[in-house]
Amino acid sequence: QGFGRPTPDGTLWCEGVSLEEIARRFGTPTYVYSKAMIESRFAAYDRAFGETPHLVCYAVKANAALGILETLASRGAGFDTVSGGEILKAVAAGADPKKIVFSGVGKSRPEIALALFAGIRCFNIESIEELERIEAEAARLGRRAPIAVRVNPDVDPHVEERIATGLGTSKFGVDRDDVLPLYRRARELPHVEIVGISCHIGSQIQSTEPYLCMVEVLADIVRQLHAEGIVLKHIDFGGGAGVAYREGEKTLPPGELVSALVEKAREVLPGEALTYLIEPGRSIVAEAGVLLMRVEFLKHARAGARYAIVDASMSELLRPALYGAWHEIERVGSAAAQTELPISIAGPVCESTDILGRNRIIATFDNDLLVARTAGAYGMSMASNYNSRPLPFEVLVSGDRVEPLQKRRQTPLDLIEAQRSLLDKSAAG
């Protein structure tokens, strides 16, 4: 399952296909995903809930390839979405709208209308302003909007601050003190139906402790709501577990997180018949993907600095440049060659931060194939056309089959076509 080196020549494979073959057939840079691994990560969440009523809503933002959404939808997944585009993609991939939740601090009127027409399960609302806007849209369209309040629990998730979302001062969620008044207001609104409560404290979380603090905050609110006669149908725990980016890094297995959440929720909310929701993104797709790239050539700079200039960059994989994130980088060919010399893996983009890995010990040569590991989440979904670079290609491997996830690789001509027709005479001036 996933990635390994099954043959005597020691080259890297994804399931039953060698990455060399994928590079030959589809070129580079290309994201390569293992379908079996995505399925097994989803199943790990789903299974861990056992008989408890639950819904695992995959966070589409982690990787929005239709082929991946289809894979998950066909396994019964729900989806956590944050834009009209994500809702449309989930529906296009066959998602049951009743399993779609809609989060985000800035839902536009057209997005709200789309969600109402689609008949989603729940809006996770993040402010009083949004509540009023949803009421107005639902009234206009003659619908009733199911809502949950996304609570900002003011809990420190102990992660990189740029991916924490539940600190009191952050833009996300509703301040603990404002939550009850908001539910009271929602109860008065004729086109809003209160169905749940939700939360999200951050991403890449590696221990259950902040999650358990969060459940206590939520439980407190659920009890107070109950006392006022507001009975909820579901509680949404937010995102999923962190993953290992460095070899040997200790991580939180999804099953362990789910068990801890369910146990805690049962303990602090006895007698509440709640469905449990969770919105994992990273831990379903991160380890199931690599970015396959080719070394253009090696370059030397002053004081012994060495670079492998590759055909991928921060445009294809932004995380190192944006967060200083670490991705293991390795040769696709056998790692037999030894070296002591550090080398930095750099892209062609005109930014000093366009370094995918700094001072790595990798024996690499001109024209080598390399992969950045653990790139299935927030890789392609954060890729851009910066420096007018076409987006990378993506393939989904299942056993010995390779399914291209795009009709064809984007080209620079597509970038021109998006702004001006190539057939339009006026394009010439």
Preceding peptide of 29 cis, ω within 30°: yes
**Residues from 374 through 393 that contact ligand LLP (CB under 6 A):** 378
User: Is 126 annotated in some ligand binding site?
Assistant: no
Task: Please choose, out of 46-54, 138-146, 278-286, 353-361, the segment that lies near ligand LLP by the rule CB under 6 A.
Answer: 278-286
- Minimum Å gap between C-beta 279 and ligand LLP is 4
Which residue in 57, 199, 213, 350 is the catalytic one?
Answer: 350
Binding mask 92-131 for ligand LLP (x = CB under 6 A): -----------x----------------------------
Of residues 170 and 387, the one with the C-beta less far from ligand LLP: 170
**First vs last C-alpha separation in the chain:** 54
DSSP state of 406: S
Confirm or reject binding of residue 203 to ligand LLP (CB under 6 A): yes
Residue 14 annotated among the catalytic residues of the structure: no
Is the Cα torsion angle 45, 49, 51, 54 positive or negative in sign?
negative
Binder among 238, 320, 333, 347 for ligand LLP (CB under 6 A): 238
CB of 107 to ligand LLP, least distance (A): 12
206 forms part of the interface with ligand LLP (CB under 6 A): no
* Residue 62 binding ligand LLP, by CB under 6 A: yes
Q: Is 323 annotated as a binding-site member?
A: yes
Number of residues in contact with ligand LLP under rule CB under 6 A:
19
Helix ranges (DSSP H) in 49-175: 66-73, 84-92, 109-118, 128-141
Interface residue with ligand LLP among 15, 46, 80, 137 (CB under 6 A) is 80
**Tokens encoding 53:** 């009523």
When the beta carbons of 22 and 197 are compared against ligand LLP, the nearer one is 197
Q: How far is CA 204 from CA 200, 220, 290, 400, in A?
A: 12, 26, 18, 31
> Any known ligand binding at 306?
no
Maximum pairwise Cα distance, the chain:
72
Q: Which residue has the tokens 């509703």?
A: 174
Q: Which residue has the tokens 């839902």?
A: 107
Q: Is residue 252 part of the contact set for ligand LLP (CB under 6 A)?
A: no
Nearest to 397 by CA among 16, 11, 121: 16
Q: Is 55 in the site for ligand LLP (CB under 6 A)?
A: no
Choose the binding region for ligand LLP from 112-120, 182-190, 280-288, 364-372 (rule: CB under 6 A).
280-288
DSSP 250-309: ----HHHHHHHHHHHHHHHSTT---EEEE---HHHHGGGEEEEEEEEEEEE-GGG-EEEE
Distance CA 260, CA 239 (A): 14
State in angstroms the smallest separation of the CB of 130 from ligand LLP.
Answer: 14
**Residue 376 labeled ligand binder:** no
Nearest one of 373, 57, 63 to 244, comparing CA atoms: 373
Report the residue number, 146 or 280, with the smaller CB distance to ligand LLP: 280
Q: Which residues from 137-166 bind ligand LLP, rule CB under 6 A? A: 163, 165
User: Dihedrals φ, ψ of 109, to 5°?
Assistant: -60, -45
> Strand pairing partners for 294?
369
Site for ligand LLP in 307-346 (CB under 6 A): 319
Which residues bind to ligand LLP, rule: CB under 6 A?
A: 59, 62, 80, 103, 163, 165, 200, 203-204, 238-240, 279-283, 319, 378
In the annotated binding site for substrate, the residues are: 282, 319, 323, 351, 378
Catalytic positions are: 350
Specify binding-site residues.
Answer: 240, 279-282, 319, 323, 351, 378
